[in-house]
Amino acid sequence: MIGLGTIINVIAIIIGSTFGLILKHNLKDQYKLVMIQGVGLTTVVIGMFGAIEGLFDSTERLIGLIIILSIVLGGVIGTFLKIEKRLNQFGDRIEKKYSKDNSQFSKGFVTASIIFCVGAMAIMGSINDGMSGDYTLLAIKSILDGITSMILASKFGFGVLFSFIPVLFYQGSITILAYFFDSFLQEVVKNQMTIIGNILIIGIGLELVEIKKFKVADMLPSIFIPIFTYYIMFILNI
């Protein structure tokens, strides 16, 4: 069944977040802090490993230039579209409607949404699900997201639960696109998208361990730039 992987992922996030909300008052701040830092450090390592592995696997001579241009151009597009601001506004609207006493609602929603949506597993898992119906990668991601959502919900609260919405639309959209346009997605393009996704994951990890704040949400369009650069280079025979 096409899309089953995303459904499993959504259920895992809901269950994990629910447990996190239940355990919220029983988890002391020092335990929450060390768990968040653990998730952050692990996220950085996973992102670095995925990005480096993708670079080593690539046979493109201009891969470095393509990645840099994609992130820069994608960041400009995202900033112009005010993606991060709109995500915060969306979170604020949900907060006003469903949560009147949780000041960290937007932060939890945005942080969880970016963590769950950006990265190699989300992209490649959805592509595999759409192209062949193989949801194995998304099933593994679901376990990780379930654990992460529990930790994040215990720290940030109710907003993490609603992160299943962008996951549903984001992964679901990629799955549907992959199903209908699988012949247009070349291996080199998938690899470039994966590398960029992992670089953005590093940014999320560094933010979780409070080293540096990155506007990763505004950089989300970067993941899709390689699709266009590939065909432009193909047309120009570069």
Could you state, in chain order, the average pLDDT of each consecutive group of 10 residues for the chain (238 residues)?
Answer: 91 94 74 75 83 80 88 94 82 64 72 79 82 81 87 86 92 90 78 84 82 83 88 80
For the chain, domain boundaries: 4-236
Check residue 76 and give its pLDDT: 95
Q: What is the pLDDT of residue 27?
A: 65
Asked if 167 and 6 touch (Cβ cutoff 8 Å), the reply is yes
pLDDT value at position 176?
A: 92
Secondary structure (DSSP) of 48-92: HHHHHHHHHH---TTHHHHHHHHHHHHHHHHHHHTHHHHHHHHHH
- CB atoms inside a 10 Å sphere around CB 44: 20
Q: List the end-to-end C-alpha distance of the chain, in Å, as a whole number.
A: 39
Q: CA-to-CA distance for 223 and 70, rounded, in angstroms? A: 7
pLDDT digits over 103-128, tens only? Answer: 577 778 888 888 888 766 788 788 88
Q: How far apart are CA 9 and CA 19, in angstroms?
A: 15
Interior CA angle at 196 toward 233 and 210, to 5°? Answer: 155
